[in-house]
Amino acid sequence: MATEAAQHGAEAAAQGTEHAAETGSLVFHPMDQFLVKPLFGDGPIGMLSITNVTLWLFIAVVAIFGLMVIGTSRRAIIPSRGQSIAELAYGFVHKMVEDVTGKDGLVYFPYIMTLFMFIVVANFLGLIPLSFTTTSHFAVTVILALAVFLTVTVLGFVKNGTHFLGLFWVSSAPLALRPILAVIELISYFVRPVSHSIRLAGNVMAGHAVIKVFAGFAAIAAISPLSVVAITAMYGLEILVAFIQAYVFTILTCVYLKDALHPHH
Amino acid sequence: MATEPTGAVSSCVDSHGSAVGMPQLCADWFPNQIFWLVIALIAIFLILSRIALPRIAAVLAERHGTILSDLTAAEDLKRQATEAEAAYNLALANAKTEAQRIAAEAKAEIQAEVDVAIQKADAEIAAKAAESEKAIADIRASAVDSIEAVAKDAAAEIVSVMGGKADAAAVAAAVTSRLKG
């Protein structure tokens, strides 16, 4: 990548553009991997344009279909490897929903499973070199987080009526403290979608950008071995992060759902 | 490849196709990203809720049922094995008692037969002995008689040879009294 970039830098220098300054030195474009590009043609990107976002979201859907539907198509009592993974994912999320939200939360299991499968598959697809990581974009994670936030808030009011506001009124605290706590609780409630979305996109984006920066250093022969080691280490960490962030997003969704179903502390 | 000149089609990309600032914050792309995300999420939700999750739930339930019934069957078989073992032990004990009984019976029977045979043999021996004694007594008696007759004859002859006229009855009485000594 970096040598390509350097070549392009050289071309840019020949063209006398502002990139001339980069010629012959290190060139970092760690954020270029996050660019949204149309797959066909060069035109401006509209809502319906087929872009790399479309492609990698489609691949994610296909991967989930392959794992969860084709992998389980034999319905074997003694599962194959693919079916084992599908059952493992099912059991993992099912247990999480049941443990955190209780039995009555299991109605929402398919929605939470959708979130988990999408995030975990998109994260791992993003780890394929030259792929596009859909979950590194705020547009994606904010929609996910907002969907959770709005659903949970509406659900809270539908299920509990005005009692849902009891979530902000900490009845176990001394009376004098309760208004202050209510303000804090209210702020923390509205910060939820922000932290929920930025945590996921930030983790994924940061890891990918750091790998790209290390890759840029690989252009210098003296430190390229170190750079390769660092990329390998970061990649290992990213595999961890890919799963953990999907897990964190899902379990926080369960926690928010629990607040909506049982708002009393 | 990321830096291929694409022309400034967006305010987020410079003339060489490199990112300007964070691509994540480029509002030009939001509608596209959100539209396809929603499509993808709906697709995933339908795939999971209509096909995958009911199927996996059914498989897990079926496996649970199979394991339960297998466990019950194993429990049943174990119980049967225990019962069979008890029956076997009982049969073994019965057979042992029976064998002992048969052995004792046989022994008693043989003993009785042996006793009978011994008694019979004893009786036979006794009879034979008695017979023999009788024979001996007869022989002895006949021998004494013969001696008496010979002695009488001899005495009568001697008397006649001596020139006497032997009275047969007197000789016989004399011999008999001498023999009785």
Q: Which residue has the higher pLDDT, B21 or B54?
A: B54
Residues in chain B closer than 8 A to A134 (CB atoms):
33, 37
The segment with the largest mean pLDDT, out of A38-42, A214-218, B17-21, B78-82, is B78-82
User: Measured between CB atoms, which of A48, A57, A86 is closest to B40?
Assistant: A57
In a domain? residue B3: no
pLDDT of A2 reads: 45
Using a CB–CB cutoff of 8 Å, tell me whether B45 touches chain A.
Answer: yes
- Report how many domains make up chain B: 1
- Report how many domains make up chain A: 1
Residues in chain A closer than 8 A to B54 (CB atoms):
none
Beta bridge partners of B19: B13
B41: CB partners within 8 A, 6+ apart: A114, A118
In a domain? residue A10: no
Whole-number percent of chain B with pLDDT over 90: 61
Contact A12 B62 (CB under 8 A): no
Give the three-state DSSP class for B12.
coil
pLDDT of A18 reads: 40
In a domain? residue A36: no
| B residues 58-117 lying closer than 8 A (beta carbon) to A | 58-60, 62-63, 66
Contact in structure between A209 and A156 (CB atoms under 8 Å): no
Grade residue B61 by pLDDT with cuts at 50, 70 and 90.
Answer: very high
Q: Which two tokens stand for residue A79?
A: 């599962």
In a domain? residue B168: yes
In a domain? residue A134: yes
Three-class HEC string of chain A: CHHHHHHHHHHHHHCCCHHHHHCCCCCCCCCHHHCCCECCCCCCCCCCCCEHHHHHHHHHHHHHHHHHHHCCCCCCCCCCHHHHHHHHHHHHHHHHHHHHHCHHHHHHHHHHHHHHHHHHHHHHHHCCCCCCCHHHCHHHHHHHHHHHHHHHHHHHHHHHHHHHHHHCCCCCCCHHHHHHHHHHHHHHHHHHHHHHHHHHHHHHHHHHHHHHHHHHHCCCHHHHHHHHHHHHHHHHHHHHHHHHHHHHHHHHHHHHHHHHHCCCC
pLDDT of B164 reads: 75
pLDDT of B169 reads: 81
For chain A, which ranges sit under pLDDT 50? 1-3, 5-6, 8-24
In a domain? residue A13: no
pLDDT of A25 reads: 62
In a domain? residue A30: no
Interface test with B, best of A47, A59, A130, A197 (most B CBs within 10 A): A47
Range of the domain at A194: 50-261
User: In the 8-state DSSP scheme, what is residue B47?
Assistant: I
Helix-helix angle A178-217:A224-261, to 10 degrees: 160
In a domain? residue B165: yes
Mind telling me how many Å the CA of B12 is from chain A's nearest CA? 9
CA–CA–CA angle A30, A32, A37 (5° rounding): 165
In a domain? residue B143: yes
**How far is B104 from B111, CA to CA, in rounded Å?**
10
ipTM of this complex > 0.90? Answer: no
In a domain? residue A21: no
Range of the domain at B125: 28-180
pLDDT in tens, A173-202: 888 899 999 999 999 999 999 999 999 999
In a domain? residue B69: yes
Using a CB–CB cutoff of 8 Å, tell me whether B48 touches chain A.
Answer: yes
Grade residue B174 by pLDDT with cuts at 50, 70 and 90.
Answer: confident
Grade residue B172 by pLDDT with cuts at 50, 70 and 90.
Answer: confident
Of A204, A100, A200, nearest to A152 by C-alpha is A100
pLDDT in tens, B116-171: 999 999 999 999 999 999 999 999 888 888 888 888 888 888 888 887 776 778 87
